[in-house]
Structure 1
Amino acid sequence: MPASCWAWCSAPTPCRSKPVLQVTFHGAAETVTGSQHLIDMDGTQLLLDCGLFQGRRAESYERNRQPPYNAQQVQAVLLSHAHSDHAANLPTLQRLGFAGKVHCTSATKDLAGLMLRDSAKIQVSDTEFVNKIRRRHHEPPVEPLYLPEHAEAVLGSLQSHAYNEKFSVLPHVAATYQDAGHILGSASIVCELDTAGGLRTIGFSGDLGRNDMPILRDPVELDTELDLLIMEGTYGNRQHATPADAVEALAGVVRSVCESGGRLIIPSFAVGRAQELTYWLHRLMEAGRVPRIPVFVDSPLASGVSKVFGDHSAIFDEETLAFIGTHPQGALRFKELTYVASADESRALNERSGPYIVISASGMCEAGRILHHLRNNIGDPRNIILIVSWQAQHTLGRRLVEKQPRVRIFGEEFALRAQVQVINGLSAHADQAGLLRWAGALRGRVKQVALVHGELEALQALRTQLLAAGFPVVHIPKMHETLHIP
């Protein structure tokens, strides 16, 4: 087979000749959740990410509980960052027999420790809550996806690496991490595989951040020849508002809820987005652009993550370091801010009069304390639900964005009377221009591109732009599709 010939097929359909190397896309294919890309080099198997699929509850449960590959045959995981849709199904992998190493950056290792423990607790507590409702409807109980002991077992397998440091993953496999600028510790990955047919190099963008955003440095472009680039395309068909415009929109929402006397409920990823929101609210109040009202970060995970951010301030951008220099308490601490620890403190917020702000996880409104805040605040038109991150199809967050008149929370139906507002400009994902700028550094150096982590319309738009920019072959793999690399 000539080097320029690349064959696609749907696994497990056999191909005519055995490939030297293949990649199967078991998640984030024509969708944005559940990132899992399985590399197989003549039986040597490693995963790029191992994230949770989020969407319809029953479908998500089944897809997450039993991945379509043998976990015992996976020998290593290269983790791009500590968001749940990229890392939170690692305990399931362990439960099913995975015994290898999980490689990541130092900050990702610290964040993953918090995130996976929190995820395991949420799996247990949410299952208990759902089972109470199921019993009332005479439905059989469900089991947690995994338990805390599975998360603890994974944490013992984490192995951290610095940016720009080539390290051995397995015999004949090496990798290097570059700063992706998405969340603290996020990375793009260059994976070098010494195959029977010679050296092959796969690049994985991970989730790419944006230039000129607070706290984090800008994404670093890859500088190498690639046989395959696996690239995200979350916002492949959109242009973001500037950070300044997005922050002014945030200020406007805060002022609106102050006028109504209501509550501002912000679903947020506990890792990354909660810290950015806290930082911007600090800056806005400091500058007198919004009233000084109470801000509650109601997520034990987000509270712990904020401490990890402080431990890794050496990789902050210059603007944030300058702000910290004049605020000894740090960028993520200020008088009006309270980190809510216990469930009792969380419940007590429902008795408190507005105006105030609650930032709570999870970002797509599929689990965690945010569900309780939505349940208690969704029916009051004085309140505002502010969506500041991507919402996958079939999630509660997407239904709120669509302003569906009635939504289900914990299996019960509620009328949506609260206001819903959306600010996309605060996204930690690069927009189309940012994606093209990052990919442009690889023009003429990539044989093949596979676009993942985006809905089909976004990926098709990005594909069109990449082809016009001179990338020779750009594919959009379907779920469980396999790419054979000769």
Structure 2
Amino acid sequence: MQVELYSHGAAQEVTGSKHFIKVQGRQIMIDCGAFQGKRKEADEKNRNWSFNASEVHAAILTHAHFDHSGLLPLLIKNGYEGNVYSTPASRDLSSLIMMDSAHIQAKDIEFLKKKAKKRGEVFEKQPLYTEDDVARTLDHFITVSYHRPFWVEEGVKATFYDAGHILGSASILLEINRNGQQMRIGFSGDLGRKNLPIIRDPEVLPDVDYLIMESTYGHRLHDPIESAMDKLAEVINRTAERGGKIIIPAFAVERTQELIYFIHLLHDQKKIPEIPVYVDSPMAVNATAIFRVHQECYDQETREAFLQHHKNPFGFNEVRYITNVEESKKLNGLTEPAIIISSSGMCEAGRILHHLANNIENPRNTIMIVGFMAEHTLGRRIKEEQPEVKIFGEYYKLKAEVVTMNAFSAHADYSEIMEYVEQLNFKKLKRIFLVHGEPDAQANLKKLLEAKNYSVTIVRYGENYTLQV
């Protein structure tokens, strides 16, 4: 039996997940995500692929985040004709994310064409895909619940396990049985953490021969999730006392809902003042509606804290969900303390840019970083507290307080990854392949795993690895 592993994205980098298992010449693709980073580099990587989409035989989606699902419409557009398997929640969230991306691309191209026209030039580049392409992509989805095995190829069975990362996120068990030989391969997907709000804790996969493991935080330890509420309350109270606003760039999916959940609890416990909370992201508003639908993904704590009391975890008196542009613009005139949660999470697009431009130079304000910021993004530059940052082509002095909340990360840190791996059968596990991590994170995690006598390989872009039975 011939089995190969290779990757055309998120190999020694964090975004753009595109991993492949080839069984007897048949390609199974795990995720088809967009690369995020420097705009020119991102556009180049997202447009030009080093594999043929029409030669892929099956596609499986671990979760809905843009860097895992964002190029599925391009996969279909480029000739893929098979199914896209996902959990029901991932299908709904990825639909929202892909449609939002198509809308943003159309607006960006329109803007660039206008600029080119003013210069007397012709701008010929087209969006990667349109809303019609997304609609066609959704026709390819087959949704499967956790723990329900399904066939993706002859002799290849897959099962989803809860990865505990975002709503509907999954780790994948591939069971290959061909020519009388058997092999089990595990894909962690993006691995979550224990005790995150709303969703269940990550499930450990059954024992596997090979594990393809994410390594985003392979060199960092997070603050305990239990400390998140205390620190959040401190920041809100401190900023409110000096009359400032808390600006939170947050991914519309999962992080925004977690923040609302925590702020709701703090409000109920009277640990923070009655301060208005504005969720300024149409996508976050729609994502929150999807969260309400998929209660099958909730953990027991959420059920006990809210659902048993018939309360909405994502809505209370101080929360205002902003959908239209005029309401968003009015937030610029706020003079009283407030919390503004807006996307995108890495500050590369969306309404958050306007809120940063209007608030970054006021020392009374706080910018709260609550998630991973990829290299070369505005979010990373703010997190690093660079004295000046460029927004909309203009430089702004960073005078607002910057607070990084590591406890909110939805990615396992290296201690949590080690704990996860050590629950697998060491004697059966032949090798761990590291993907989805920057080089320093992967080097540290590799060192830690090898110290425990695991065989570890850092996956390189486009390189083939033969998996022995």
Do Structure 1 and Structure 2 share a fold, with TM-score over 0.5? yes
Q: Say whether residues 1:348 and 2:330 are aligned partners.
A: yes
Which residue is 1:475 aligned to? 457
Which residue is 1:183 aligned to? 166
Could you report, residue by residue, the CA deviation over 1:403-435 in whole angstroms, capped at 9, with x for unpaired residues? 222222333433323222211111111111211
Which secondary structure state, in structure 1, belongs to the residue aligned with residue 42 of structure 2? helix
Which secondary structure state, in structure 2, belongs to the residue aligned with residue 314 of structure 1? helix
Could you report, residue by residue, the CA deviation over 1:4-37 in whole angstroms, capped at 9, with x for unpaired residues? xxxxxxxxxxxxxxx9221211111122111110
Distance 1:136 1:417, change over 3 A: farther
Identity %: 44
Distance 2:222 2:39 in 1: 30
Q: Say whether residues 1:92 and 2:74 are aligned partners.
A: yes
> Which of 258, 271, 278 is the equivalent residue of 1:276?
258
Distance 1:133 1:439 in 2: 52
Could you report, residue by residue, the CA deviation over 1:242-299 in whole angstroms, capped at 9, with x for unpaired residues? 1222221111211122123222111111111111011001111111111111111111
TM-score (norm 1): 0.91
Paired residues of 1:296 and 1:337 also in contact (CA < 8 A): yes
> Which of 412, 416, 427 is the equivalent residue of 1:444?
427
Distance 2:9 2:24 in 1: 22
Distance 1:128 1:180 in 2: 38
1:323 shift after superposition: 1.1
Distance 1:290 1:132 in 2: 47
Which secondary structure state, in structure 1, belongs to the residue aligned with residue 247 of structure 2? strand
Distance 1:53 1:309, change over 3 A: same
Which secondary structure state, in structure 2, belongs to the residue aligned with residue 368 of structure 1? coil
Could you report, residue by residue, the CA deviation over 1:354-375 in whole angstroms, capped at 9, with x for unpaired residues? 3111111111112222222223
Question: Unaligned 5+ residue runs, structure 1?
Answer: 1-18
> Which of 97, 104, 113 is the equivalent residue of 1:115?
97
Letter of the structure 2 residue corresponding to residue 231 of structure 1: M
1:144 shift after superposition: 2.3
Paired residues of 1:105 and 1:161 also in contact (CA < 8 A): yes
Which residue is 1:9 aligned to? none
Distance 1:354 1:327, change over 3 A: farther
Paired residues of 2:163 and 2:202 also in contact (CA < 8 A): yes
Distance 1:307 1:154 in 2: 22
Question: Unaligned 5+ residue runs, structure 2?
Answer: none
Paired residues of 2:146 and 2:160 also in contact (CA < 8 A): yes
Distance 2:398 2:74 in 1: 35
Which secondary structure state, in structure 2, belongs to the residue aligned with residue 174 of structure 1? strand
Q: Say whether residues 1:314 and 2:288 are aligned partners.
A: no
Distance 1:99 1:354, change over 3 A: farther
Distance 1:148 1:398, change over 3 A: same
Which residue is 2:197 aligned to? 214
> Which of 345, 349, 374 is the equivalent residue of 2:356?
374
Distance 1:288 1:333 in 2: 16
Distance 1:289 1:136 in 2: 54
> Which of 61, 71, 86 is the equivalent residue of 2:53?
71
Distance 1:140 1:446, change over 3 A: farther
1:329 shift after superposition: 3.5
1:469 shift after superposition: 2.2
- Count of residues in correspondence between the two structures: 466
Q: Say whether residues 1:459 and 2:442 are aligned partners.
A: yes
1:379 shift after superposition: 2.6
Q: Say whether residues 1:223 and 2:193 are aligned partners.
A: no
Distance 1:201 1:329, change over 3 A: same
Using the TM superposition, name which of 460-469 and 270-279 deviates more. 460-469
Could you report, residue by residue, the CA deviation over 1:61-87 in whole angstroms, capped at 9, with x for unpaired residues? 110112211111112211000111111
Distance 1:405 1:196 in 2: 62
1:439 shift after superposition: 0.8
Distance 2:180 2:3 in 1: 9
Paired residues of 1:130 and 1:411 also in contact (CA < 8 A): no
Distance 1:411 1:30 in 2: 30
Which secondary structure state, in structure 2, belongs to the residue aligned with residue 481 of structure 1? coil
Distance 1:139 1:387, change over 3 A: farther
> Which of 231, 237, 254 is the equivalent residue of 1:249?
231
Q: Say whether residues 1:417 and 2:399 are aligned partners.
A: yes
Using the TM superposition, name which of 322-331 and 203-212 deviates more. 322-331
> Which of 300, 314, 331 is the equivalent residue of 2:282?
300
Paired residues of 1:104 and 1:160 also in contact (CA < 8 A): yes
Letter of the structure 2 residue corresponding to residue 76 of structure 1: A
Which residue is 2:83 aligned to? 101
Using the TM superposition, name which of 107-116 and 78-87 deviates more. 107-116
Q: Say whether residues 1:25 and 2:30 are aligned partners.
A: no
Distance 1:459 1:396 in 2: 23
